[in-house]
Amino acid sequence: MATKLQNSEVRNALKLHTDLSEPQQRLMRSVVRLLPFAASLPQQDVCVFTGARDDEILVFGHIKDWPAAVIKPDICLLKSYEVGLWQDLLQSGHAVKGFMEHKHGQLARLLAFPIVDNGGKCIGGIAMLHNGLEPHTEAPLLTASDVLAETTYMAMIVPQQNQTDLYTPLSYQDGIIIFDEAGIILYANEAASHLVDLLGFDRRLVGTSIYGGSLKMSWVKQAIRDHRGAVSEEIYGDIIVEQTILPINAGIRAKRSFLFLKDKTAFRRKEQELMVKNSVIKEIHHRVKNNLQTVAGLLRMEARRSDSEQVKKALQEGVSRIESMALVHEVISHYEEDYIELRTIAEELIRLLKRALLRSDDMVQCEYVGDSILLSSQRAGYVSLILNELISNSFEHGFSCMTNQEPVKEGHIIIEGNLKGSSITLTVSDNGSGLPDDFDLNASKRLGLQIIRNLVTNELAGTLEITGEPDKGTVVKITFNE
In this predicted model, which residue has the larger pLDDT, 437 or 477? 477
The phi and psi torsions of 67 (rounded to 5 degrees) equal -70, 115
pTM equals 0.59
Look at 85-94, 104-113, 453-462 and tell me which has the smallest mean pLDDT: 104-113
The partner residues of 367 in beta bridges, in order of sequence, read 414
Is 445 among the domain residues?
yes
- CATH code of the domain covering residue 195: 3.30.450.20
Is 212 among the domain residues?
yes
Whether residues 141 and 189 fall in one domain: no
The residue from 211, 238, 264 where one domain ends is 264
Is 20 among the domain residues?
yes
Residue 425 has pLDDT above 90, yes or no: yes
Percent of the chain, pLDDT > 70? 85
Whether residues 385 and 455 fall in one domain: yes
- CATH code of the domain covering residue 437: 3.30.565.10
Query: What average pLDDT does the structure give for the chain?
Result: 82
Whether residues 220 and 131 fall in one domain: no
Categorize the per-residue pLDDT at 1 as very low, low, confident or very high, splitting at 50, 70 and 90. very low
Whether residues 13 and 146 fall in one domain: yes
Buried/exposed 408-428: b ≥16 CB within 10 Å, e otherwise: beebbbbbbbeeeeeebbbbb
Instruction: Please state, in angstroms and rounded to a whole number, the distance separating the CA atoms of residues 10 and 371.
Output: 33
* C-beta atoms surrounding 350 within 10 Å: 19
The partner residues of 51 in beta bridges, in order of sequence, read 57
Domain that holds residue 420: 339-481
Give the chain's domain count. Answer: 3
Whether residues 382 and 418 fall in one domain: yes
Is 301 among the domain residues?
no
Per-residue pLDDT reduced to its tens digit, 344-367:
888 888 887 887 777 666 778 889
H helices of 158-264, where?
190-198, 218-225
Instruction: Please state, in angstroms and rounded to a whole number, the distance separating the CA atoms of residues 420 and 346.
Output: 19
Per-residue pLDDT reduced to its tens digit, 159-169:
888 888 899 89
Q: Please give the helix or strand (H or E) that residue 267 lies within, else none.
A: helix 265-305
Whether residues 153 and 182 fall in one domain: no
| pLDDT value of position 172 | 85
Is 372 among the domain residues?
yes
Categorize the per-residue pLDDT at 122 as very low, low, confident or very high, splitting at 50, 70 and 90. very high
Whether residues 76 and 207 fall in one domain: no
Per-residue pLDDT reduced to its tens digit, 217-249:
778 888 888 888 989 888 887 888 888 999 987
Per-residue pLDDT reduced to its tens digit, 304-345:
888 888 888 788 777 777 877 777 777 766 665 678 888 988
Count, in order, helices (H) and strands (E) of the chain.
12, 19
Is 319 among the domain residues?
no
Per-residue pLDDT reduced to its tens digit, 454-471:
889 988 999 999 888 777
Residue 94 has pLDDT above 60, yes or no: yes
Whether residues 234 and 146 fall in one domain: no
| pLDDT value of position 65 | 61
